[in-house]
Amino acid sequence: MKNIKAAIFDLDGTLIDSMYVWEKVDVDFMMQRGIPVSKEYTDIVRSMFFETAAAYTKDKYGLDESVEEIMQTWLDMAHNEYAHHIQAKPYVVEYLKKLKEKSIILGIATSNNPYLLKPCLENNGMNGIFSCICYTSEVGLNKSSPDIYLYTAEKLGVKPEECVVFEDIIEGIKSAKSVGMKTVAVYDSSNDDYMDQIKVTADKFVETYSELLDEMDQ
């Protein structure tokens, strides 16, 4: 893509194969409280930042736990997987290094939490690759709003139109495009229900990063 100075990556489902963890956390957390997990619930919380999702869960199901207690329970349930087992998407590290060789500035825009993100990046050889890591909790809005992408672009010192955003969810793709950013949709099986919409909305769709590496070598 021409005139691109920076690449902004989502984390879960885009850089790493981690969505299974959150599906498991959802099920285990609800089962422990005798609450069935609905698709409506998972669809709503999937693009929320952490505190909003916890507050929504507390209010929807009338839980006695505080928002802080719910968040800490989720983090503790997920931490072992992020720290020891979650793997990067195939070829993503090679692709990131290629981008850096071409002087593309790299950033992360995520709804996740530093407690989980930092050990996961280190274990997968991505520590130190990104110039900044930004969290939706810093802007107070989920990825249905473009604020997290604009905030990350500002931190990277580039204009929105100089950015390409890599995402796996339709909400993020739409938001990034709404402020003039280019978008690359990365396949993740957790979004199969939205795949047709993702493919027609994003500027580019890839099954794996090997496709992008092949293009760079041409």
Q: What is the pLDDT of residue 218?
A: 67
Q: What confidence tier does 68 reach under pLDDT thresholds 50, 70, 90?
A: very high
In sequence order, which residues have a C-beta less than 8 Å from that of residue 11 and are 6 or more positions away? 18, 108, 110, 112, 117
Tell me, what's the pLDDT at 1? 66
The pair of structure tokens assigned to 147 is 């604020």
- For residue 47, pLDDT over 80 is answered with no
**HEC-encoded secondary structure of 100-145:** HHCCCEEEEEECCCHHHHHHHHHHCCCCCCCCEEEEHHHHCCCCCC
Q: What torsion do the CA atoms of 57, 12, 17, 37 make, to the nearest 10 degrees? A: 10
Look at 139 and 51; give whichever has higher pLDDT: 139
Contacts of 133 (CB under 8 A, 6+ apart): 107, 108, 110, 114, 117
Q: Are 77 and 109 in contact (CB under 8 A)?
A: no
Token pair, residue 175, equals: 């938001």
- Which residue would you say has higher pLDDT here, 179 or 23? 179
pLDDT per residue as tens digits for the range 137-180: 899 888 999 999 999 999 999 999 999 999 999 999 999 999 99
**Does residue 217 have a pLDDT over 80?**
no
Residue 59 pLDDT > 70: yes
pLDDT, residue 51, reads 85
The mean pLDDT of 206-210, rounded to a whole number, is: 96
CATH architecture, range 6-17+88-217 = 3-Layer(aba) Sandwich (3.40)
Is there a contact between 145 and 175 (Cβ–Cβ < 8 Å)?
yes
Secondary structure of the chain in HEC code, one letter for each residue:
CCCCCEEEECCECCCECCHHHHHHHHHHHHHHCCCCCCHHHHHHHCCCCHHHHHHHHHHHHCCCCCHHHHHHHHHHHHHHHHHHCCCECCCHHHHHHHHHHCCCEEEEEECCCHHHHHHHHHHCCCCCCCCEEEEHHHHCCCCCCCHHHHHHHHHHCCCHHHEEEEECCHHHHHHHHHCCCEEEEECCHHHHHHHHHHHHHCCEEECCCHHHHHHHHC
Mean pLDDT value of segment 189-215: 95
Q: What is the pLDDT of residues 71-127, one digit of tens each?
A: 999 999 999 889 989 999 999 999 999 999 999 999 999 988 899 999 999 999 999
For the question of whether the overall pTM of this predicted structure is more than 0.85, the answer is yes
∠ Cα 23 111 191 (to 5°): 45
Average pLDDT taken over every residue of the chain: 93
